[in-house]
Structure 1
Amino acid sequence: MTEPAADSPTHPVTPAAKRPRERTWKHLSPLLHLLILTQLAFNIGFYAVLPFLAEHLGTAIGMAGWLVGFVLGLRTFSQQGLFVIGGWLVDRYGVRPVVLLGCALRIAGFAWLGYAQAPWAVICSVLLIGFAAALFSPAVESEVARQAVVWEENGHGPRTRVLALFSAAGQAGAFVGPLLGGLLLAMDFRTACLAGAGVFVLVLAGHAWLMPQHIPGRERVLDPGGVRGLLRNRAFLALCCAYGSYLLAYNQLYLALPDEVERATGSQTALSWLFALSSLLVVCAQLPVTRWSGDRLDLRRSMTGGLLLVAAGFAVVAAARPAGWTGLAGLLPAAGYVVLLTVGQMLLVPAARAWVPELAEGGRIGLYTGALSSISGLIVLVGSSATGFLLDLGVPPAVPWLVLAAVPALAVTLLPRPTRVRSREQAA
Structure 2
Amino acid sequence: MKLRLWDTNLKVRLIGEALFNMLYWMYFPFITVYFGSSFGNQIAGILMTAPPIFSIIGSLVGGALADRLGRRPVMLLGASIQTLMFALFALSPSRWIDYAAFIGIGIGGAIYRPASSAMVADLVSPQDLRQVFATFTTANNIGAVLGPAFGAVFFFHYRQELLWSCAFVLLLYFIAIYFIVHETVPQLEKHKDLSVSIPRMLKEQWKGYGIIFRDKVFLVYILAGIFALVTILQLDLYFAVYVTNYVPAQTLFSWHDYELVLSSKDIFGWLLGLNGLLFVLFVFPVTKWFRNWKERNVFILSSLLAGAGTFALGLNTNIWFLFFVTIIFTFGEIVRSPVTQSFISRYAPEHARGQYMGANNLQFTVSRFLAPVTVFMSAWLPPMGVFSMILVFAFISILLYIQLYRIHQE
Shift of residue 260, structure 1, vs aligned partner: 1.8
Shift of residue 218, structure 1, vs aligned partner: 7.8
Looking at structure 2, the residues matched to 73 and 301 of structure 1 have their Cα atoms a distance apart, in angstroms, of: 34
| Percent identity (aligned) | 22
User: 2:369 matched to 1:381?
Assistant: yes
Query: Are 2:241 and 2:375, in contact at CA under 8 Å, matched by a contact in 1?
Result: no
Greater Cα offset, 91-100 or 180-189: 180-189
1:317 aligns with 313
C-alpha distance after superposition, 1:53-105 (max 9, x if no partner)? 2333344xx32222322333333332355322221121111111111111111
TM superposition outliers: structure 1 runs of 4+ over 6 Å: 418-421
Kindly provide the amino acid, as one letter, of the partner of residue 237 in structure 1: L
The alpha-carbon distance between structure 1 residues 136 and 332, as it changes in their structure 2 partners (threshold 3 A), is same
TM-score (norm. length: structure 1) = 0.81
Paired residue for 2:160, among 174, 190, 194?
Answer: 190
The alpha-carbon distance between structure 1 residues 208 and 181, as it changes in their structure 2 partners (threshold 3 A), is farther
Shift of residue 414, structure 1, vs aligned partner: 1.1
Counterparts in 2 of 1:225-236, with a 5 A limit?
225-236=207-218
2:232 aligns with 250
2:53 aligns with 77
Counterparts in 2 of 1:324-339, with a 5 A limit?
325=317, 329=318, 331-339=319-327
Shift of residue 301, structure 1, vs aligned partner: 1.3
Unaligned runs of 5+ in 2: 192-200, 250-263
Shift of residue 284, structure 1, vs aligned partner: 0.9
Looking at structure 2, the residues matched to 39 and 396 of structure 1 have their Cα atoms a distance apart, in angstroms, of: 41
Counterparts in 2 of 1:404-415, with a 5 A limit?
404-415=390-401
The CA RMSD over aligned residues, in Å, is 2.5
Kindly provide the amino acid, as one letter, of the partner of residue 51 in structure 2: R
Kindly provide the amino acid, as one letter, of the partner of residue 189 in structure 1: R
Query: Are 1:356 and 1:369, in contact at CA under 8 Å, matched by a contact in 2?
Result: yes
Residue 220 of structure 1 aligns to a residue in which SS?
A: coil
Shift of residue 309, structure 1, vs aligned partner: 0.9
Counterparts in 2 of 1:4-403, with a 5 A limit?
24-59=2-37, 62-80=38-56, 82-148=58-124, 150=125, 152=126, 157-185=127-155, 187-215=157-185, 219-220=189-190, 224=205, 225-262=207-244, 263-265=246-248, 267-294=264-291, 296-320=292-316, 325=317, 329=318, 331-361=319-349, 363-385=351-373, 387-393=374-380, 395-403=381-389
Looking at structure 1, the residues matched to 147 and 176 of structure 2 have their Cα atoms a distance apart, in angstroms, of: 19
C-alpha distance after superposition, 1:301-327 (max 9, x if no partner)? 11111111111112312433xxxx4xx
Kindly provide the amino acid, as one letter, of the partner of residue 248 in structure 1: V
Looking at structure 1, the residues matched to 47 and 96 of structure 2 have their Cα atoms a distance apart, in angstroms, of: 10
Kindly provide the amino acid, as one letter, of the partner of residue 117 in structure 1: P
The alpha-carbon distance between structure 1 residues 411 and 218, as it changes in their structure 2 partners (threshold 3 A), is farther
Shift of residue 418, structure 1, vs aligned partner: 8.0
Shift of residue 420, structure 1, vs aligned partner: 8.9
Kindly provide the amino acid, as one letter, of the partner of residue 118 in structure 2: S
Shift of residue 120, structure 1, vs aligned partner: 2.8
Query: Are 1:40 and 1:173, in contact at CA under 8 Å, matched by a contact in 2?
Result: yes
1:6 aligns with none
Query: Are 1:164 and 1:346, in contact at CA under 8 Å, matched by a contact in 2?
Result: no
Give aligned pairs, total: 380
Query: Are 1:168 and 1:282, in contact at CA under 8 Å, matched by a contact in 2?
Result: yes
Looking at structure 1, the residues matched to 283 and 184 of structure 2 have their Cα atoms a distance apart, in angstroms, of: 31
Query: Are 1:49 and 1:178, in contact at CA under 8 Å, matched by a contact in 2?
Result: yes
TM-score (norm. length: structure 2) = 0.85
Looking at structure 2, the residues matched to 353 and 380 of structure 1 have their Cα atoms a distance apart, in angstroms, of: 18
Shift of residue 404, structure 1, vs aligned partner: 0.4
Unaligned runs of 5+ in 1: 1-22, 422-428
Kindly provide the amino acid, as one letter, of the partner of residue 138 in structure 1: P
Kindly provide the amino acid, as one letter, of the partner of residue 261 in structure 1: V
Specify which structure has the higher proportion of helix: 2
